[in-house]
């Protein structure tokens, strides 16, 4: 039987690689968009649950830079889904005092999506509950490259000296600047790889892999991950 942990046993920052939407649909002989729609519902319920139990930061991997390689039909549906669920889910998040932030290269999205993102971030900016990072058009290598470029520009312009460049300064240039590193990364659907997700921020993260497909992931499944996390001894490279 799983239990809810509190206090020091809870991770401060959870990252979730939400995998398995298409496989969920395929198992039911349905088009992939049905899996994405069900996955969006799971995203909403899990986000609300994390906020309820006291998680301070949650980062969900919603759409990677590599996902742009998918069929135009699937991408078009995902754009429609983003608009639909962002409008409905974010309203609920606001009522629950959740602060929403989008991380990734948003320049690739249609203007309508970018306007919605700005509206949501501005509308939730004063909220003081859990910080929800939604990673869209996100790739960690691109994120680190972007951080390096901004530092190089500042060095070349004389704003900072090269001797001042440090790990902390790099962290400040990442998309989730000012947030703590990830404590626990959960990946669904049985794959056991990080897939270009928060490479810098997960240097000492604990990992939890489950064969459960993302649309079937629920509070009980999350509690299993939290149970497992509470047994880990984190040394951060020390003895």
Residues 21, 33, 51, 67: which is the catalytic one?
Answer: 67
Phi, psi of 139 (to 5 degrees): -145, 130
Q: What per-residue confidence (pLDDT) applies to 239?
A: 57
Global pTM reads 0.91
**Residue 78 has which token pair?**
């995902």
What does each of the 239 residues of the chain score in pLDDT, given as a tens digit?
445 555 458 999 999 999 999 999 999 999 998 999 999 999 999 999 999 999 999 999 998 988 888 888 888 888 888 888 777 767 788 889 999 999 999 998 889 889 989 988 998 999 999 999 999 999 999 999 999 999 999 999 999 999 999 999 999 999 999 999 999 999 999 999 999 999 999 999 999 999 999 999 999 999 999 999 999 988 777 65
Residue 197's CB: how many other CB atoms inside 10 A? 21
Query: What tokens appear for 166 in the block?
Result: 């440090």
- Contact between residue 97 and residue 129 where contact means Cβ atoms under 8 Å apart: yes
Supply the pLDDT for residue 73. 86
Residue 216 is a catalytic residue: no
3-state secondary structure string across the chain: CCCCCCHHHCCCEEEEECCCHHHHHHHCCCCHHHHHHHHHHHHHHHHHHHHHHCCCEEEEEEEEHHHHHCCHHHHHHHHHHHHHHHHHHHHHHHHCCCEEEEECCHHHCCHHHHHHHHHHHHHHCCCCCCEEEEEEEECHHHHHHHHHHHHHHHHHHCCCCHHHCCHHHHHHCCCCCCCCCCCEEEECCCCCCCCCCCCCCCCCCEEEECCCCHHHCCHHHHHHHHHHHHHCCCCCCCC
CA atoms of 21 and 62, how far apart (whole Å): 11
Q: Set out the domains of the chain in order of their start, with CATH numbers.
A: 9-139+181-231 (3.40.1180.10)
Catalytic residue among 8, 19, 133, 154: 19
Is residue 19 flagged as an active site residue? yes
């Amino acid at each position: 039987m799983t239990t809810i942990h509190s206090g020091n046993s809870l991770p401060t920052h959870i990252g979730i690689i939400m995998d398995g939407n298409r496989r969920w649909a395929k198992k039911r002989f349905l088009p992939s968009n049905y899996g994405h729609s069900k996955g969006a519902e799971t995203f909403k319920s899990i986000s609300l649950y994390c906020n309820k139990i006291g998680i301070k930061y949650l980062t969900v991997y919603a759409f990677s830079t590599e996902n742009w390689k998918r069929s135009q039909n699937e991408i078009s549906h995902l754009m429609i889904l983003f608009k639909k669920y962002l409008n409905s889910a974010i309203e609920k998040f606001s009522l629950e005092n959740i602060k929403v932030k989008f991380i990734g290269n948003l320049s690739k999205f249609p203007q309508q999506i970018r306007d919605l993102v700005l509206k949501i971030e501005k509308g939730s900016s004063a909220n003081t509950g859990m910080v929800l990072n939604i990673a869209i058009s996100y790739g960690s290598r691109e994120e680190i490259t972007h951080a390096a470029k901004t530092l190089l520009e500042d060095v070349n312009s004389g704003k900072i000296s090269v001797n001042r460049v440090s790990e902390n300064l790099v962290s400040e240039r990442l998309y989730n600047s000012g947030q703590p590193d990830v404590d626990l990364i959960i990946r669904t659907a049985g794959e056991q790889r990080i897939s270009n997700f928060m490479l810098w921020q997960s240097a000492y993260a604990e990992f939890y892999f489950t064969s459960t497909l993302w649309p079937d992931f629920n509070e009980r499944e999350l509690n299993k991950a939290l149970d497992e996390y509470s047994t880990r001894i984190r040394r951060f490279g020390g003895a």
